[in-house]
Structure 1
Amino acid sequence: MKGIFTALMCSFDEQGNINEQGLREIVRHNIDQSKVDGLYVNGSTGENFLITTEMKKRIFEIVKDEAGDQVKLIAQIGSLNIDEAVELGKFVTELKYDAISAVTPFYYKFDFEEIKDYYETIINEVNNDMIIYSIPALTGVNMSLDQFGELLAHDRIIGVKFTAPDFYLLERLRHAFPDKLIYSGFDEMLLPASVLNIDGAIGSTFNVNGKRAREIFELAQQGKITEALEIQRTTNDLISAILANGLYQTIKEMLKTKGVDAGYCRKPMKQISAEKVARAKELAEKYM
C-alpha cells in the first residue's frame, strides 16, 4: 500500500451524468501512462460530495472493473451521513477494494469524541482497513498528535492521508507511528513531506503529473534532494498554472489533449472558458 496514488478524477457529461467510457480512459491513463501504484477513488478530486450514493457506487464498480488487481485501490467512503458511509464501505469491501478511507466529518463543529465515534462506527460495521483523511483547511478539523494516536491505536486504522502544511505534526506522526501508513496530500509539498519519510502520496495533479511525483518521491528516498528539488520546482510551476486556470477543469482539459475523454465538472462548478481551454492545452504540451 505504499507509493504514488492518484486522487482519481471522474468524467461527467454536460448534464452531470457519469461518462463511463471517459472514466475508464482516466483509469487507464493513470495505470498505463503515469504508472502510479494505486488509485484513491471518490475523493474530493472525483467531485464525490456533489453526487448521489448510487453514482458513487457506480464509480466504484467501474474503477474496479477497469483496474482489476493491477494497482491498489482505496475507496473514499466518508460522508456526513454515517449510514451512507457504512453502506459504501460494505459495498467496496465486497468489490475487494484494498482499503477504505473517510474524510473527517465536517460542517458541524464535531468534538473529538464525536469524530472518534464516527470512525469506530464505520470500522466496527465494515470489515476493511481504514485510512483517515485529514484535510483541516476544508473540514475545519484539526487533530492533535494525541488525538491521532487514539485513532491509530485501533488495529483496523492503518494510516492517514495527511493534507496539511503542519510539517512538525507530520514529523511527530511519523516518529510516533512507524508502522502506520502516512500519505502526503499536498502535491506542491511532496518533497518536504518525502524527506520526513512518508510512505507515499495521494494527489489530484498526479492525473497529469504522476511521473514527476514518483521521481520526487524516489529521489528523496535516495537522499538526492537537489535533483528532487528541481523536479518539485517544475511541478510547482505546473501546479501554480493549473490553480490560476481552474484546478479540476484544467486537469480535465489537459487529459483531453492526450485523448482521454475526461468530460466536464458537475455544477455548481462552472464550465471552463475557451480561453482557459487554450491555456490548458498549452500546459499539456509543455508538461505532459
Structure 2
Amino acid sequence: MKGIFTALMCSFDEEGKINEKGLREMVRNNIDVQKVDGLYVNGSTGENFLISTEDKKRIFEIVKDEAGDDVTLIAQVGSLNIDEAVDLAKFTTDLKYDALSAVTPFYYKFDFDEIKDYYNTIMANVDNQMIVYSIPALTGVSMNLEQFGELFENEKIIGVKFTAPDFFLLERLRHAYPDKLLYSGFDEMLLSASVLNVDGAIGSTFNVNGVRARKIFELAQAGAVEEARAVQKETNDLIAAILDNGLYPTIKEILKHEGVDAGVCRKPMKPLTEAKKARAHDIAKKYL
C-alpha cells in the first residue's frame, strides 16, 4: 500500500458517456508507462461527483478488469448519500479492491461526531480497510490531530490521503501514528511531504508525470534532497503550465498527444478551445 498512486482520470465521450476503450488505455498507460504502484479510482480527478452511481460502478468494474492484480487499487466511495457510499463500499469490496477511501462529507456543516459516524458506518458494512480523504480547501472540513486519532480508533481506518498544506499537522500525524499510512495529496508539494516520511502520494498529474513523481519520492527517501528539489522544480514548471491552461482538460489533451484516448471532461466543465488544445500539445513537448 506504499508508493506512487495515480488519481485516475476517466475517458468520457462528447455525450458524457464512459469511453471504455479510452479508460482501459488510461489504466494501461499508468501501469506500463508511468510505472505507478497503484490507482486511486473515482476520486475528484475521475469527475466522480459529476456521474451516476451506475457509472461509478461501471468504472470500478472496467478498472479492475483491466488492471487485475498488476497494481494496488483504492476505491473512492465517499458520497453525501451514506447509502450510496455503503453500496459502493460493498460493491468494490466484492470486486476485490485492496482498500477503500472516502472524502469527508461536505457542503452541510457536519460536526466531527457526524463525520466519525459516517466513516464508522461505511466500515461496519464491509470487510475492508479505509483511507480517509482529507481535502479541507474543497470540503470545508478541517480535522485536528486528536480528531484523526479518534478516527484511527477504528482499526479498519488505516490512513489518510492528506491534501492540505499544513505540514505542521502532517509532521504531528507522522510522529503520533507511525503505523498509519499517510499519503501526500498535493503534487506540487510532494518533496515537502516526502521529507516528513509520508508513505506515498496520490496525485492527478501522475497520469502524465508519474515517473518524475517516483523520482522525487525515492530521492527524498534516500536523503538526496537537492536532487529531489531539482525534479520537483521540473514538476512544478509542468504543473504551473497545466493549471494555467485548465487542469483536467489539459491533462486529457496531453494524454491524447501521447496516444491515449482520454476523451473529454463532463459538463459543466468546458472543453478546451483550439488555442488551448495547441497549448496543451506544446506543454507536452516542452515538459514531458
TM over 0.5: yes
Residue type of the alignment partner of 1:81: N
Task: Give the equivalent residue in structure 2 for 1:218.
Answer: 218
Q: Kindly provide the amino acid, as one letter, of the partner of residue 213 in structure 1.
A: A
Mapped to 2, the partners of 1:204 and 1:35 lie a distance apart of 15
Aligned to 2:285: 285
Counterpart-to-counterpart distance in 1, 2:189 and 2:285: 24
| In structure 1, distance between residues paired with 2:57 and 2:272 | 27
Deviation of 1:52 (Å) = 0.1
Say whether residues 1:35 and 2:50 are aligned partners.
no
- Residue 88 of structure 1 corresponds to 88
Q: For residue 265 of structure 2, what is the amino acid of its counterpart?
A: C
1:233 correspondence with 2:233: yes
- Aligned match of 1:246: 246
CA distance in 2, matches of 1:171, 1:11: 36
Deviation at 1:153, TM superposition (A): 1.6
- Gaps of at least 5 residues in structure 1 are none
Q: Distance in 2 between matches of 1:97 and 1:109?
A: 31
Give, in whole Å, the separation in 2 of the partners of 1:38 and 1:283.
Answer: 25
Residue in 2 aligned with 1:270? Answer: 270
Tell me the distance in 1 between the aligned counterparts of 2:201 and 2:100: 16
Q: Distance in 2 between matches of 1:45 and 1:12?
A: 13
SS at match of 2:119: helix
Deviations 1:173-224 (A, max 9, x none): 0000000000000000000100000000000000000000000000000000
2:116 alignment partner AA:
K
Tell me, yes or no, if structure 1 residue 7 matches structure 2 residue 14.
no
Residues 4-43 of structure 1: CA deviation (Å, up to 9, x unaligned): 0000000000000000000000000000000000000000
Give the aligned partner of residue 123 of structure 2.
123
In structure 2, C-alpha distance between the alignment counterparts of 1:132 and 1:267, rounded to whole Å:
27
What SS class does the counterpart of residue 59 from structure 1 fall into? helix
Equivalent AA in structure 2 for residue 278 of structure 1? A
TM-score, normalised on structure 1? 1.00
Q: In structure 2, the residue corresponding to 1:100 is in which secondary structure?
A: strand
**Whole-Å separation in 2 of the counterparts to 1:285 and 1:29:** 18
Residues 258-286 of structure 1 deviation map (CA, whole Å, 9 limit, x = unaligned)? 11000000000001100000010011112
The alpha carbon displacement at 1:287 in A equals: 2.2
Report sequence identity in percent.
77
* TM-score (normalizing by structure 2): 1.00
Q: Deviations over 1:147-170 (max 9, x none)?
A: 000001211000000000000000
Gaps of 5+ in 2: none
Q: Secondary structure at the match of 1:201?
A: strand
4+ residue segments displaced more than 4 Å = none
Task: Quote the residue 1:143 is aligned against.
Answer: 143
The whole-number CA distance in structure 1 between the counterparts of 2:272 and 2:149 is: 43
Q: Which residue of 1 aligns with 2:183?
A: 183
Which aligned pairs between 1:252-263 and structure 2 lie closer than 5 A?
A: 252-263=252-263
Q: How does 1:202-217 map to 2 (within 5 A)?
A: 202-217=202-217
Q: Secondary structure at the match of 1:126?
A: coil
CA distance in 2, matches of 1:50, 1:4: 26
Rounded Cα–Cα distance in structure 2 between residues aligned with 1:287 and 1:76: 30
- Residue of structure 1 in register with 2:68 after alignment: 68
Q: Specify the code of the residue in structure 2 equivalent to 1:239.
A: I
**Paired residue for 1:165?**
165
C-alpha root-mean-square deviation of aligned residues, in Å?
A: 0.4
Per-residue deviation, 1:249: 0.3
SS of the counterpart of 1:32? helix
